[in-house]
Structure 1
């Protein structure tokens, strides 16, 4: 059953921007899934997100496990309060309530997470309309993350996301009792690490929880204007 809950917390553009005329590698479209192991309508959306993570490098799928299903019989071990807060921000922009499964594309469009055609269409639209050419590179080594952001127009929060590649969980209670769920790109931590205001910027931050890391640039209106997976820093050559 599709279940809804009230939110817990109330010329091309690049050519017109002289600081953005340099070439930039295509960035991945950010696909945020809000889900829960306690939600019976979520597994199809979880499976879809897993397929995206396995078959497409042009998207960055992220699964945020919310907490508001935990009181209904099964506590999702990957749920955390920051996922609720993240979805609540989107709820205020799009529809005034939070529900699962919900997918948000690049912070600009929201839809039911199991609606593959709508999600794929939104991804295609995001790729065709992304005129931003902000360069964003990130690497990690020795317990630190280094982020380099090129010049451009506008402002953005710099967000660091930690996520695990895959988890398989036997569910003992709740709506999915008796099922074993396999979920991908499970977000474990989510933290702002700085502010970008149009000039070139280099940031350093501590590594956060999660097997993998990514960096997002979020404009004041909530739109994602930059994204990059964090690469492992190359070891210095031996002398």
Structure 2
């Protein structure tokens, strides 16, 4: 093998993220103004220290009112939930709603169905695309090779928010939410080829990268 070709191969191997089982992604669409949401928030929190699960809280905006406006709500979270509804050929959205690995939709406070959906996702055949994200002066993202195509999303999130609710349906309650998404950034398409990119750090204490097919299925996921 020629030296130049050998060096290129070694560089490619160094670039590729190590193969490892990715976490099952659980997205909870919630709101501090929704009386049904605290039990779902508490259920999601039970998965926060499980390395096999990536729980994410997406606080939507449509519950906001003059009596209580959720300080963690994001228009991008509302738009993401609406996108999922469109995939299910529906225009209706609700809270609390959990979506497991981008395909299974269920009531976010249903512990039995959520556990079953996570177990089914973990038992699914392997074939995930390796994804890695590293923090530094610039965020370094590497997507491995794989079949199919999808879109790359960079999420910034805070590990835990504890909020004293001052009005609305949960007035007087203290709500604890985990992995609260603070920013959602689309990084463009992925077409099966290995790729790497650098970018500025998003809002949030931590980061997650989701590689998602157009039908919603999570193809790869990683956190820093």
Q: Residue 94 of structure 2 corresponds to which residue in structure 1? A: 99
Counting only pairs closer than 5 Å after superposition, residues 67-78 of structure 1 correspond to structure 2 as 67-71=61-65, 73-78=67-72
With over 3 angstroms needed to count, the CA separation of the structure-2 counterparts of 1:130 and 1:146, relative to structure 1, is farther
Counting only pairs closer than 5 Å after superposition, residues 29-44 of structure 1 correspond to structure 2 as 29-44=24-39
TM norm structure 2: 0.89
2:121 equivalent to 1:126: yes
Counting only pairs closer than 5 Å after superposition, residues 144-223 of structure 1 correspond to structure 2 as 144-223=138-217
Counting only pairs closer than 5 Å after superposition, residues 49-88 of structure 1 correspond to structure 2 as 49-54=44-49, 56-71=50-65, 73-88=67-82
With over 3 angstroms needed to count, the CA separation of the structure-2 counterparts of 1:115 and 1:72, relative to structure 1, is farther
CA contact (8 A) 2:87 2:215 kept: no
- Residues 62-85 of structure 1 show CA distances to partners (whole Å, capped at 9, x for unaligned) of 000000000262100000100000
Equivalenced residue count is 207
SS of the residue corresponding to residue 94 of structure 2 reads: strand
Equivalent-residue separation in structure 1 for 2:150 and 2:223 (angstroms): 17
CA contact (8 A) 1:194 1:203 kept: no
Give every structure 1 segment of 4 or more consecutive aligned residues whose post-TM-superposition deviation is greater than 4 Å.
none
CA contact (8 A) 1:161 1:187 kept: yes
Counting only pairs closer than 5 Å after superposition, residues 11-50 of structure 1 correspond to structure 2 as 24-50=19-45
CA contact (8 A) 1:52 1:59 kept: yes
Gaps of 5+ in 1: 1-22, 231-239
Range with bigger deviation, 127-136 or 116-125: 127-136
- Residues 10-49 of structure 1 show CA distances to partners (whole Å, capped at 9, x for unaligned) of xxxxxxxxxxxxx831000100000000000000000011
- Residues 190-214 of structure 1 show CA distances to partners (whole Å, capped at 9, x for unaligned) of 0111321111111112110000101
SS of the residue corresponding to residue 35 of structure 2 reads: coil
Q: What is the deviation of 1:140?
A: 1.3
Q: Residue 9 of structure 2 corresponds to which residue in structure 1? A: none
TM norm structure 1: 0.83
Equivalent-residue separation in structure 1 for 2:61 and 2:142 (angstroms): 33
Counting only pairs closer than 5 Å after superposition, residues 104-123 of structure 1 correspond to structure 2 as 104-123=99-118
